[in-house]
Amino acid sequence: METIVRRIDPRRIDPSAVEEAACVLRRGGLVAFPTETVYGLGGDALDPGASAAIYAAKGRPSDNPLIVHIADLSALERLASSVPDAAWRLAKACWPGPLTMILPKAACVPDQTTGGLPTVAVRFPSHPVARALIEASGRYIAAPSANTSGRPSPTCARHVEEDLSGRIDMILDGGECEIGLESTIVDLTEDVPTILRPGYYAEADIRRILGSARTDPGILREDSNVRPKAPGMRYRHYAPRAKIVIVEGKPDDVVRAILTEVRKETAAGRKTAVLCCGEHEGLYPDVRIFSAGHLAREEEIAHNLYTTLRRFDEEGIDTVYSEAFETPSLGSAIMNRLLKAAGHTVLPA
Ligand code: AMP
Ligand code: MG
């Protein structure tokens, strides 16, 4: 199939491009579109055939459920069989925006969309193109990240084209995604609101809004006995072809350890690089350096992370030694993605 790419300016949305994409969705087709987190691969969430097509295009395991995107609050009551007070409070504080809630599903949501689970994931995105598209389609839009399963999530239309060109009907190119990491997922079916995937909103933010919050133990450590509750978090993810090793410790020790490891790898004939914060760029002489962004501007690191992971592959890098980016608010989301990309390979400095 030929994939149509339409440019669309988020500040001056061309209604004819949106209508063309909405038409594709209404007839069961797939459209990739920008959101404030990453690009999503959209299909009609209540059409089992469209959900099946999403799994096929991405090569995604069919037990990994999809997030359903909405463009007005009333949709929550149609997709969920019950909506607790906590959901309305979270919606008031975080929607439209980078937050997904898990609720018991209504009968209209097909098992294909929820990967067979009795719950549904719902998000109201803030990106103007996403909102315009959902509204124009008149549907609820299932939209996982628009990457091939296992690859880093796409933060611009070019990434989507790299992975899915020829496999989906259309891409709306609305430029770069602002945040660059996927939404925070909060499970509201548990007694205590539980973060199943860290994102823009940290545990402390959710606790401030709801009075209590915890993080699913399954995503905090690599322990096969503690299974993450979000099925997607079980899979190797966000991974470039390069091997990534995260080096942790005191900053001086980390720099020294990375330089030693880089020398060894290079001597062994492997194309080696360093991923570091902008503040440390000058500390690694004669090494191919990728700066993730400045620690002092953590949103810059989140914004750049997936593009940087893809650049390792573009340059044919074999091994990457990375600093850790334990920043105050976005640090848990950034490190969650980086640890998964590294297959949890951590070297103490
Ligand atoms: P993606 O949209 O590709 O970023 O992935 C969506 C994430 O949401 C995956 O990790 C899913 O496992 C998770 N998810 C979606 N629906 C549910 C649900 N009902 N319960 C738990 N996790 C979910
Ligand atoms: Mg994804």
pLDDT 10s digits, 118-163:
999 999 999 999 999 999 999 999 999 999 998 999 999 999 999 9
pLDDT greater than 70 at residue 223: no
Centre of ligand 2 to C-alpha 18, Å, is: 24
Which secondary-structure segment (H or E) carries 44? strand 40-44
Atom number of ligand 1 nearest to Cα 231: 12
Q: Which protein residues are within 6 Å of ligand 1, measured from CB? A: 64-65, 67, 102, 114, 117, 119-121, 144-145, 182, 185, 196-197, 229-233
The C-alpha atoms of residue 83 and residue 292 are separated, in whole angstroms, by 39
The whole-number pLDDT of residue 224 equals 58
Q: Find the helix packing angle between 128-137 and 15-26, rounded to 10°.
A: 50
Centre of ligand 1 to C-alpha 197, Å, is: 9
Encoding tokens for residue 150?
A: 């296992």
Greatest CA separation found in the chain?
61
Pocket test for ligand 1, best of 30, 62, 67 (most atoms within 8 A of CB): 67
pLDDT greater than 80 at residue 221: no
Confidence of residue 222 (pLDDT cuts 50, 70, 90): low
For the chain, give every domain's residue range.
4-220, 243-348
Q: Give the predicted TM-score (pTM) of the model.
A: 0.96
The whole-number pLDDT of residue 227 equals 78
**Rounded average pLDDT over 296-318:** 96
Pocket test for ligand 1, best of 35, 55, 60, 66 (most atoms within 8 A of CB): 66
235-294 residue pLDDT tens: 667 788 899 999 999 999 999 999 999 999 999 999 999 999 999 999 999 999 999 999
What's the CATH fold of domain 4-220? DHBP synthase (3.90.870)
Q: Which ligand is nearest to the CA of 198?
A: 1
The C-alpha atoms of residue 270 and residue 268 are separated, in whole angstroms, by 6
Centre of ligand 1 to C-alpha 132, Å, is: 23
Please tell me the residue having the least CA distance from ligand 1 atom 20: 230
Confidence of residue 304 (pLDDT cuts 50, 70, 90): very high
Closest to 197 (Cα-Cα) out of 178, 220, 177: 220
Q: Which ligand is nearest to the CA of 122?
A: 1
Beta bridge partners of 334: none
Please tell me the residue having the least CA distance from ligand 1 atom 23: 230
Centre of ligand 1 to C-alpha 41, Å, is: 14
Name every residue whose Cβ is closer than 8 Å to that of residue 29 and which is 6 or more positions away in sequence. Answer: 43, 50, 53, 168, 169, 170
Centre of ligand 2 to C-alpha 182, Å, is: 8
Q: How far is CA 167 from CA 71, 125, 146, 153, in A?
A: 26, 24, 11, 17
Q: Which ligand is nearest to the CA of 235?
A: 1
91-106 residue pLDDT tens: 999 999 999 999 999 9
The whole-number pLDDT of residue 239 equals 81
Centre of ligand 2 to C-alpha 284, Å, is: 32
- Encoded amino acid at 261, one letter: E
Span of 26-30, 42-46, 177-181, 214-218 with lowest mean pLDDT: 214-218
- Encoded amino acid at 152, one letter: P
40-94 residue pLDDT tens: 999 999 999 999 999 999 999 888 999 999 999 999 999 999 999 999 999 999 9
Please tell me the residue having the least CA distance from ligand 1 atom 21: 230
Q: How many CA atoms lie within 13 A of 129 on its CB side?
A: 33
Centre of ligand 1 to C-alpha 102, Å, is: 9
Pocket test for ligand 1, best of 41, 63, 64 (most atoms within 8 A of CB): 64
Atom number of ligand 1 nearest to Cα 100: 8
β pairing state of 170-173 and 67-69: unpaired
Which secondary-structure segment (H or E) carries 101? strand 99-104
The C-alpha atoms of residue 133 and residue 128 are separated, in whole angstroms, by 9
Pocket test for ligand 1, best of 197, 215, 236 (most atoms within 8 A of CB): 197
What's the CATH fold of domain 243-348? Rossmann fold (3.40.50)
Q: Cα 62 to chain center, whole Å?
A: 18
Centre of ligand 2 to C-alpha 10, Å, is: 23
List of E strands, 159-240: 170-173, 184-187, 194-197, 214-215
Atom number of ligand 1 nearest to Cα 147: 3
Centre of ligand 2 to C-alpha 245, Å, is: 22
